[in-house]
A and B are shown apart, each in its own frame.
Chain A
Amino acid sequence: MEYFLQQLINGLTLGAIYGLIAIGYTMVYGIIGMINFAHGEIYMIGAFGALISILLLAVPGGGGSVVLALIVVLVVSMILTALYGWTLERIAYRPLRASPRLAALISAIGMSIALQNYIQLTQGARNKTLQPLIRGGVELMERDDGFTVVLNYMQMGIIATTIVLMTGFSLLISRTTLGRAQRACEQDRTMAALIGINVDRTISLAFVMGAALAAVAGFLVVLYYGVIDFFIGFLAGIKAFTAAVLGGIGSIPGAMLGGLLIGLIEAFWSGYFSIEYKDVAAFAILVLVLIFRPTGLLGQPEVEKV
């Protein structure tokens, strides 16, 4: 029971991070119907941006308010990563919008390889570490043999940040003009253009918002695990994509739900079965979902017309 609860907490934390990345996939897929293959790399850029801003602001050494400094770091890395997302769309997607789909996929894969190597070359291939800035936590329960269930402050922070961002983001999509433009473009791009929506800008904004949320995920990972390298984007990207598909690609609540489920499955799988095969578990779920329920949990079925 205690062990179960601990894995549940770990899984929720991990799931929140996957969910944040998954939104980027789902938004881009919803609006242009393509998998943003380089999104995992965008998340990795976000993590490096956050680490560099933390070191730049000398957060670990400097006194003052750590929380305030971290908010500044978060905003800086979100802006930086959003800029990368915007550039990615301009270079790898916009010129190819009228081309065969495969062309855009290849250029996105190329972008992903290029970004990975860019960070490897400029920052070095070795792990980058950060001492934990936020320590401590609440002991929830104690088992007879001394095993305690701990909810870290950091985990609380991750879950709280995610909830706040998700609420804000859902409101943005459902209530504002910008969100309406997004939804209109998802339904019919030509029609949206006819009624005066700037489609190019709306698509760019989908990349920008997805990248900003991925930057939050990267920021949280740097603080939570404290270890990053240039290759983290690949696996995280695939898992987040699995989450988006599991939840129903194109659906924003679905991405969040899928993220949570993938996080929980991974935590329980490594807690109860074997840690080596935890990545296989994620792939297996992806395959099973696509075969048996291609629309995901909350997705709309896609009707193919002749």
Chain B
Amino acid sequence: MASAVRAIAPIDPLGMLKEAAVTAVVSAALLIPFVGFRIVNRGGDQFLDTRFEETAIAVALIFLGRLALILIRGGRFLVPAVGGVAVAAVGVFAPIPTDFLRAVATVGGLVVLARAAFVAFMRSRTDTGARAAGAGVGDMFRRALPWIAAAVIAIAFVLPLTPFAERRFLDVAILVLTYIMLGWGLNIVVGLAGLLDLGYVAFYAVGAYSYALLAAYFDFSFWICLPLAGMFAAFFGIVLGFPVLRLRGDYLAIVTLGFGEMIRVILLNWVSFTKGPDGISGIPRPSFFGLEFKRYPPEGGETFHTFFGLDYSSLHRVIFLYYLILVLALITNFFTRRIRTLPVGRAWEALREDEIACRSLGINPRNTKLSAFAIGAMFGGFAGAFFATRQGFISPESFTFLESAIILAVVVLGGMGSQTGVVLAAVVLIGLPEYIRDLQEYRMLAFGAGMVLIMAWRPRGLLSHRDPTIRLHPAGRGGG
């Protein structure tokens, strides 16, 4: 097997061209109606504009991309990689008339490059001393992981104090950390308990709205509302979880999706309570042990910068928010790691692997699943309260299905159940696109395509890790 994989297949130019040509013909048929024609509205009537040059160039690029992928499959990496870089560079730097072509060239080039690098890496692992070395690398990585994690956390703590920490960078970091926290929260439900939840955003929304409404109606501060938001979200988790526990797999996914949408529609239409589509604005910002982040201190009081004798800077609040979400996320992570070794955590993992076996061992599936739902929801609620206080404004628009899909993508693409994978996936999926400014509009298109490609090439996620936390027999030695 290994030698067959390693061998470089001889080039079969005719076959390659034929395969690529078929792809090109199909993609031409797919693209011409929607890229070649564009419906435009002129004076109340609809007309069609044509853009055939773009379509033709896009099809040509797809043809080349397909050729490159065939070469990579045959074990030739250099030419496709260089070609990919060249095309991507042209896409980024050359004056290309339209954004569409720019996106096709950049994304296509990068995809080819990533594929070449990935396949080459996998092959090199099988080449150097067969599988043992590969496993050795994996083992080394696993042993080094705590140190890497500690280093990353230390860097994360020091980062805002370094000159790197300009406003934009911190904003992106806060966003990424929010998704890391949400991903870790959802990981309890999806990764550990194996319950596919497509409506996680509902708990995020419950947390955000509980803080916003409690602050608006009762004038509660953030620090009182944070635990309350978590409790409300956990309560919703139990209420919504209870009826759906009997469902499995895809059905559970669809029903949770339905619940998520129901919460959004209710938030949208219950205008007297939630202000509906206008959203809630003026949500109070968090304070540092009662010290607010304002330029001018209130009558007879002090603010953060006067208390510490600093010059006022609007960055103080951003840095504080950064630390807040960092700590919240780390608490989520710590909690998850600990609970995995408790009986309830073990029961989650067991339930994920085989529900019937669990029943016969006397595990109560209902309570076990409900606890996973509630705890996952609670962390979603915390993150929601943080989101509300960070934004200062929330509306139902922030809690669409897309948000659930993004959080789930962070969990699944990282590798289900892997805490490290969530971090990696959040940085790749949330952080990177924020910096591709030119192609803002194409972000979601690339995001969706990225989900498809990562799944196609790495169905178990970037860092696949689904080992139970505990084994009777250490891997590789124990029986079947």
| Residue-wise interface mask of A (16-58) relative to B, using a CB-CB cutoff of 8 A (1 in contact, 0 not) | 0000000000000000001100000000010011011101100
Quick one: which of B35, B46, B408 has the most chain A CB within 10 A?
Answer: B46
Within 8 A of A (CB), among B234-278: 243-244, 246-247, 249-251, 253-255, 257-259, 261-262, 265-266, 269
| Residue-wise interface mask of A (156-193) relative to B, using a CB-CB cutoff of 8 A (1 in contact, 0 not) | 00000000000000000000000000000000000000
In the docked arrangement, what's the CA distance between A159 and B252, Å?
A: 33
Given contacts A110-B449, A291-B246, A294-B251, contact A279 B456 (CB under 8 A): no
Main DSSP-derived SS at the B contact region = helix
In the docked arrangement, what's the CA distance between A277 and B268, Å?
A: 10
Q: B459's contact among A55, A99, A118, A121, by CB below 8 Å, is which? A: A99
Query: In the complex, what residues of A have CB within 8 A of residue B441's CB?
Result: 121
Query: In the complex, what residues of B have CB within 8 A of residue A92's CB?
Result: 452, 455-456
Query: In the complex, what residues of B have CB within 8 A of residue A121's CB?
Result: 100, 441-442, 445
Q: Is B37 an interface residue (CB 8 A)?
A: yes
Within 8 A of B (CB), among A71-127: 80, 83-84, 87, 91-92, 95-96, 99-107, 109-119, 121-124, 126
Closest CB in chain A relative to B86 CB, distance in Å: 25
Do the beta carbons of A106 and B409 come within 8 Å of each other?
yes
Do the beta carbons of A306 and B356 come within 8 Å of each other?
yes
Q: Is B61 an interface residue (CB 8 A)?
A: no
Q: Is B365 an interface residue (CB 8 A)?
A: no
Q: Is A286 an interface residue (CB 8 A)?
A: yes
Query: In the complex, what residues of A have CB within 8 A of residue B290's CB?
Result: none
A-B contact count (CB 8 A): 173
Chain A residue nearest to B442 in the complex (CB)? A121
Do the beta carbons of B459 and A283 come within 8 Å of each other?
no
Query: In the complex, what residues of A have CB within 8 A of residue B320's CB?
Result: none
Q: Is A129 an interface residue (CB 8 A)?
A: yes
Chain A residue nearest to B27 in the complex (CB)? A87
Within 8 A of A (CB), among B348-405: 356, 401-402, 405
Within 8 A of A (CB), among B189-211: 196
Chain A residue nearest to B445 in the complex (CB)? A117
Closest CB in chain B relative to A269 CB, distance in Å: 13
In the docked arrangement, what's the CA distance between A101 and B254, Å?
A: 14
Q: Is A284 an interface residue (CB 8 A)?
A: yes
Query: In the complex, what residues of B have CB within 8 A of residue A110's CB?
Result: 409, 447-452, 455
Closest CB in chain B relative to A236 CB, distance in Å: 13
Given contacts A52-B48, A103-B460, A113-B405, contact A287 B412 (CB under 8 A): no
Do the beta carbons of A114 and B38 come within 8 Å of each other?
no
In the docked arrangement, what's the CA distance between A16 and B162, Å?
A: 62
In the docked arrangement, what's the CA distance between A119 and B30, Å?
A: 12
In the docked arrangement, what's the CA distance between A24 and B139, Å?
A: 46
Q: Is B26 an interface residue (CB 8 A)?
A: yes
Main DSSP-derived SS at the A contact region = helix
Within 8 A of B (CB), among A266-283: 276-277, 279-280, 283
Query: In the complex, what residues of B have CB within 8 A of residue A129's CB?
Result: 41, 46
Q: Is B29 an interface residue (CB 8 A)?
A: yes
Chain B residue nearest to A84 in the complex (CB)? B30
Within 8 A of A (CB), among B437-480: 441-442, 444-445, 447-452, 455-456, 459-460
Q: Is B34 an interface residue (CB 8 A)?
A: yes
Q: Is A141 an interface residue (CB 8 A)?
A: no
Q: Is B47 an interface residue (CB 8 A)?
A: yes
Q: Is B33 an interface residue (CB 8 A)?
A: yes
Do the beta carbons of A122 and B459 come within 8 Å of each other?
no
Do the beta carbons of A286 and B26 come within 8 Å of each other?
no
User: What are 20 A-B pairs at a CB distance below 8 A?
Assistant: A49-B34, A52-B33, A52-B37, A80-B33, A83-B30, A96-B455, A103-B455, A103-B460, A109-B408, A110-B455, A112-B448, A113-B402, A114-B451, A115-B448, A123-B39, A128-B46, A130-B46, A238-B261, A276-B265, A276-B269
Known: A53-B33, A102-B196. 18 other contacts (CB 8 A): A35-B250, A35-B254, A51-B46, A55-B39, A80-B29, A83-B29, A84-B30, A103-B455, A109-B405, A110-B409, A113-B444, A113-B447, A114-B447, A122-B35, A123-B38, A276-B269, A279-B265, A286-B255
Closest CB in chain B relative to A22 CB, distance in Å: 13
Q: Is A144 an interface residue (CB 8 A)?
A: no
Q: Is A139 an interface residue (CB 8 A)?
A: no
Q: Is B413 an interface residue (CB 8 A)?
A: yes
In the docked arrangement, what's the CA distance between A87 and B31, Å?
A: 12
Query: In the complex, what residues of A have CB within 8 A of residue B176's CB?
Result: none
Chain A residue nearest to B261 in the complex (CB)? A283
Do the beta carbons of B459 and A100 come within 8 Å of each other?
yes
Do the beta carbons of B100 and A106 come within 8 Å of each other?
no
Do the beta carbons of A238 and B257 come within 8 Å of each other?
yes
Chain B residue nearest to A228 in the complex (CB)? B39
